[in-house]
Amino acid sequence: VGLPRFTINDSGLVGIGTSTPFAKLTLQGTYGNQTPLLDVASSTNASGSATSSLFRIAANGNVGIGSSSPLAKLSVSGSLNSGEYPMIIQKLNSTGYSEMAFFSNTGAGGESGSIGYANTGASLFTNQVFLSSAGKDIVFSVNSGAVQAMLASTGNFGIGTTSPYSMLSVAGQVVGQNFVATSTTAVSSFQQLLANASTTLQNFTGLRSTTTNATTTSFAVTGSATSTFASGIQISSGCF
């Protein structure tokens, strides 16, 4: 005698595929059977099988919304019109956060990081989209796991390096028309421009102050190599 297809026990619990339901509704498949546990179909074929699923719980426990073959614990799929979104996370409380949080595999120590939006009454990141970590580095990768940029837990940002040693560390060539460094205490645009023996300054046309009373602390080339300036160094009038 096979298992009953449908059971309502003395406690009012309902079981489908099981004679011992342990919840208000218990769905249980047989071993090796790939029949979905639950499917809400938007269309069916002549035999009554779903051809398009609005919601499905697969035999392996994966949940699909708009997918009849969910590939992960939660798969969301569907054709969207302009202005529609596959998922919305919204915190209705004006002081709260519309946030997706991430935890370690053990869940110990609280969340490891989060991404979201802080509502207008939130105490942090007010009215801003944020990416936050709990003392962890935030890395940016676009190619086979290699790290192209990193916001370290120290607050330093590195491009081309995973060990930024200053507020901005760049390992590689930097190109720009103007570079301006400002500070509430600095007396010049750059407090120091330092080129070591392995550094090349190409097409370097000027070092100038943006204030009338500024002084240049140092312009230094260090190292054992011989340093040369092919076009010379020009000091304009009014420097002394």
For 26-41, b/e burial (b = at least 16 CB within 10 A) is beebeeeeeebbebeb
What is the spatial distance between Cα 155 and Cα 67, in angstroms, rounded to a whole number? 41
Six-digit token pair at 95?
Answer: 């002081």
The mean predicted confidence, pLDDT, of the chain is 76
What pLDDT, in 10s, does the model give residues 145-167? 788 999 999 999 999 999 998 88
pLDDT digits (tens, 9 = 90+) for 182-237: 665 544 445 555 555 555 565 555 555 555 554 544 555 555 555 566 666 666 65
Distance CA 133, CA 143 (A): 22
Tell me, yes or no, if the pTM score tops 0.75: no
**Does 50 have pLDDT greater than 60?**
yes
d(CA 6, CA 134): 48
Whole-number Cα distances in Å, 97 to 52, 107, 126, 192, 228: 35, 20, 9, 43, 57
Question: Across residues 68-87, what is the average pLDDT?
Answer: 81
